[in-house]
Amino acid sequence: MWLPCGCTSKAIVTSSACPVFKSYFRVFGRWKCNVAAFMPEAAGFEGVKDFSSLQEFSVSNSESFWAAAARSRLSWIRPFHTVQHCDLSRGKIKWFEGGQLNVSVNCLDRHVHTSPERVALIWERDEPGSEVKVTYRELLETTCRLGNLLRRRGVKKGDCVTIYMPPCPLAVASMLACARIGAAHNVVFAGFSAEALAERIRDAESSTVITVNQGVRAGKVTELKRTVDAAVQDCPTVQQVLVAMRTENPVAMTAKDVDMEEEMLKEDVVCEPAAMNSEDVLFLLYTSGSTGKPKGVVHTQAGYLLYAALTHRYVFSYQDGDVFGCVADIGWITGHSYSVYGPLANGGTTVLFESTPIYPDPGRYWEMVQRLKINQFYGAPTAIRLLLKYGDQWVQKYDRSTLKTLGSVGEPINTEAWEWYYRVVGDGRCPVVDTWWQTETGGICITPRPSDPDAEIVPGMAMRPFFGIKPILMDTKGKVVTSNPASGALCIAKPWPGMARSIHNNHQRFIETYCQPHPGYFFTGDGAYRSKEGYYQITGRLDDVINVSGHRIGTAEIEDVVNQCNAVAESAVIGYSHDIKGQGVYAFVVLKKGVDDQEADLSQQLNIMVSKKIAKYACPDFIQFVQRLPKTRSGKIMRRVLRKVVERDLNGLGDLSTLDDPSTVQEIIQGHRELFSKQKPS
């Protein structure tokens, strides 16, 4: 399971094989002599002469490194007295204690002082060519009005506001308005169903929800407000729903609803920022784990913001004046860190992408790059694989000469997609950074850049740890593997400021999931391979989490829904390798005795249930009805066997002697063949 996937020396792009790295070297080569030009704080770090020694310093002198970065890159209301106070084995993580700051001031006010008319947001609306630019001054004013409105309507420091909106300036203003008044936010991806939304609102105990009347995506209108109405019925804590208008179509308003834009007009454009402690909660973001219940990952103020800002600047070589194009939805951590917090903390210009890669046609991204003059493009392998299939002409039609860095995130990027991204999209000019990280890590942890300007980049490998990150591999006996090459469970040996602090209302689950598997280390749940050069390649999850188009979903979450169907006795869901989505969802379903529903009807019913209770992306691509599931004598479903059947690796079925009844496997193999021959995945 930890095998390196296709990393051959043939695929390695070295500086000599590839002209981009030579030119990169020429442009940035000078900092080799002057590391302080690259990172001003480094002038005060003893013995730091080049990138490698800076990385080493950041790990071995992490307190000095992070203290210097926090002092120079954040604006503090009150300085911190303790850099870090952490004990990973007990799940205790505190950074910059004693310090007070306001995240919205760091993202807005300080830039308004220096360049109020600089563009903060470019809202790339679904309708191509209708982008809206928002300056720092405008974004601050909108945020203040909204902050005042929330305060007037009773939202207090420490409350948690749920935001159910597509990427748009008002969504960003909502996040920042919460930060301004000291409330936490809980952004829920606007593709989630009413039930999934309700579960997250309840767990976050929100009394306020912010939404829009309707969403618009790929030319289609979605009834977001109606979804909120349905969700709120099951959420006794909700007292008010603020509704903004994304389209001109009026929607039915209930007694709880507030016309957000109308009310904002009544508010002042100045809003006193709350002084927040470094370790107060900034936001919750729900993500999937290996149980059926999503986890509300907790991030706090100063450490998160600093880490998002530093990674944004250095991984992508972001320079002042650049236009940063992260196409992730704000409902995911990538949207939080690299559409909102990182770029805004750096005073950058960031794109909010509302559409899809193929709307109105497969040239959408590159037409946007040309029109908005995007300098850094950050997207997901699933989209790259999809676009690759449409052919190079959709890319070549457009001028991409502004591009300087291309980024990839969310799942492993296969060599073919990486090469296409590099050669066709980037014209062989732009470094491609395959960035590994998680909702829990807050920001990018393993990435080819920053590194020495002439350092090689290997396709499909995240490669090198970011500043302050010390990755290690654990073997199956729980011992740290020190040799290379090696495979193992990926852990991080030291705390860093951007890491999650807890799981909302369940700190014990935080400890059990991340701290206890390998005491003293942060356990990521991913497997990795380390090459003989010491480069990391992520090989996938080790737990029952699958990754569909870069979106995490727990197999247990899907099973929970499937099992709710009256006709279903039990089920087992696994991920399988999918050409475009990275992983697809494959469900094995055992029906109750005596059920005589048509399988096709049942499949459709199950798909509807999953999309209604979770989201469309979680729907099974294949549903195989089976008589029995392979189980051990103690009754545990052997998903390993099911995976091998679907991977057609019958030689790899392994030891079946612990199975209660090995003949089930033959039935399943036969059923799988039949299903594959008659059904195309949806």
What residues line the site for ligand 6R9 (CB under 6 A)?
287, 332-334, 409-412, 434-439, 462, 524-526, 538, 541, 547, 550, 552
User: C-beta of 582: minimal distance to ligand 6R9 in Å?
Assistant: 9
Q: Which of 348, 396, 400 is CA-nearest to residue 374?
A: 400
E strand intervals along 150-280: 160-164, 184-187, 208-212, 215-217, 220-222, 240-244, 257-259, 276-277
Hey, what amino acid is at 631?
K
Task: Between 320 and 579, name the residue whose CB sits nearer to ligand 6R9.
Answer: 579
| Residue number of the CB atom closest to ligand 6R9 | 439
Closest to ligand 6R9 by CB, 437 or 522: 437
User: Given the complex with ligand 6R9, which of 225 and 552 has the nearer CB atom?
Assistant: 552
Are the CB atoms for 523 and 515 separated by under 8 Å? yes
Beta strand pairing status for 208-212 and 240-244? parallel
What is the DSSP pairing of strand 240-244 with strand 295-300? unpaired
Report, in Å, the least distance between residue 431 CB and ligand 6R9. 15
CA distances from residue 133 to 339, 369, 511 in whole angstroms, order as listed:
14, 15, 43
CB of 525 to ligand 6R9, least distance (A): 6
Structure tokens at 282: 């900034």
- Minimum distance, C-beta of residue 16 to ligand 6R9, in the bound complex (Å): 26
In the complex with ligand 6R9, the residue whose CB is nearer, 279 or 411, is 411
Provide, rounded to whole angstroms, the least separation between the CB of residue 476 and ligand 6R9.
19
Q: Which is nearer to ligand 6R9, 333 or 574 (CB)?
A: 333
The β-bridge partners of 215 are: 222
Report, in Å, the least distance between residue 434 CB and ligand 6R9.
Answer: 5
Q: Which of 241, 269, 205, 210 is nearest to 505 (CA)?
A: 205
CA distance 298 to 286: 9
Query: In the complex, what is the shortest distance from the CB of residue 203 to ligand 6R9, in angstroms, rounded to a whole number?
Result: 17
Torsion over CA: 670, 673, 677, 679 (sign)? positive
Instruction: Extract the tokens encoding 237.
Output: 């804590």
Q: Which is nearer to ligand 6R9, 337 or 624 (CB)?
A: 337
| Helix or strand holding residue 494 (H, E) | none
CB 579 to ligand 6R9: min, Å = 17
Nearest approach, Cβ of residue 412 and ligand 6R9 (Å): 4
Of the two residues 101 and 308, which places its CB atom closer to ligand 6R9 in the complex? 308
Distance CA(490)–CA(527), nearest Å, equals: 5
Give the nearer residue to ligand 6R9 in terms of CB position, either 348 or 525: 525
- Amino acid at the residue 458: V
CA dist 180 and 324 (Å) reads: 24
CB of 169 to ligand 6R9, least distance (A): 23
CB of 587 to ligand 6R9, least distance (A): 21
Burial of 669 (0-12, 13-18, 19+ CB in 10 A): middle
CB 449 within 8 A of CB 311: no
Distance separating alpha carbons of residues 152 and 159, to the nearest angstrom = 14
Residue closer to ligand 6R9 (CB basis): 264 or 409: 409
Encoding tokens for residue 245? Answer: 């208008």
294 upstream amide cis, omega within 30 of 0: no
The burial class, CB within 10 Å (0-12 / 13-18 / 19+), for 50 is middle
Specify the residue, 465 or 525, whose C-beta has the smaller distance to ligand 6R9: 525
Residue 522 or 625 having the CB closest to ligand 6R9? 522
